[in-house]
Chains A and B, each alone.
Chain A
Amino acid sequence: DTGVSQDPRHKITKRGQNVTFRCDPISEHNRLYWYRQTLGQGPEFLTYFQNEAQLEKSRLLSDRFSAERPKGSFSTLEIQRTEQGDSAMYLCASSAGFLYGYTFGSGTRLTVV
């Protein structure tokens, strides 16, 4: 297993455009998490899935953000009508249960210009 993969590694987009990120978790992990990290800050929770069910969404996740995890495998995070404030590193992690710890991907760095 190669760990958690995120694609793309970097994305530069113009304000107002839509972007979609993909995360492929460790196959044995039923939990998948999305976090956002800005410069000098720790990761902030956005949402998480157990299998295909989205169990919690943060208030940080406005209605421009949507996440899916069809069939409980990979996940996508879409941001519609991007704003400059969306510029950040978007992190995906998977876990067999939080007591086991998370395995993080390397992240997708989004820059909105």
Chain B
Amino acid sequence: GNSVTQMEGPVTLSEEAFLTINCTYTATGYPSLFWYVQYPGEGLQLLLKATKADDKGSNKGFEATYRKETTSFHLEKGSVQVSDSAVYFCALGLEDTDKLIFGTGTRLQVFP
């Protein structure tokens, strides 16, 4: 079946530290991959996406590269800020089903 596995949280970092949140997937076809972010008290927002192998999605200093050989889509940021504190969800989508499958989420806490 189709599924997404994310690293357990919380991830706790100091401001300006490097961030990696791991995401791997299992899919029966050729999925598109997404990262969504949920800030406290808000709805989920699309952060970035990649629709085919070797694509790199980027937004707000965050990046993720679609690696078909390792079935991964790890989220990275070179220098986190306190305002990046949120829950991050990795998701995959298959066009024939037209819906997204989400991971369990990883909470990021950034301290000054």
Q: Which residues on A are within 8 Å of B, measured CB to CB?
A: 4, 31, 33, 35, 40-45, 48, 50, 55-56, 91, 93, 97-99, 101-107
Contacts and interface: CB of A to CB of B under 8 A. Distances in A.
Contacts, number: 60
A91 B98 contact: no
A40 to B, nearest CB: 7
A45 B100 contact: yes
B43 A98 contact: no
Given A40-B104, A45-B101, A55-B98, A99 B51 contact: yes
A41 B101 CA distance: 12
Interface of B: 4, 32, 34, 36, 42-46, 49, 51, 89, 91, 93, 95, 97-105
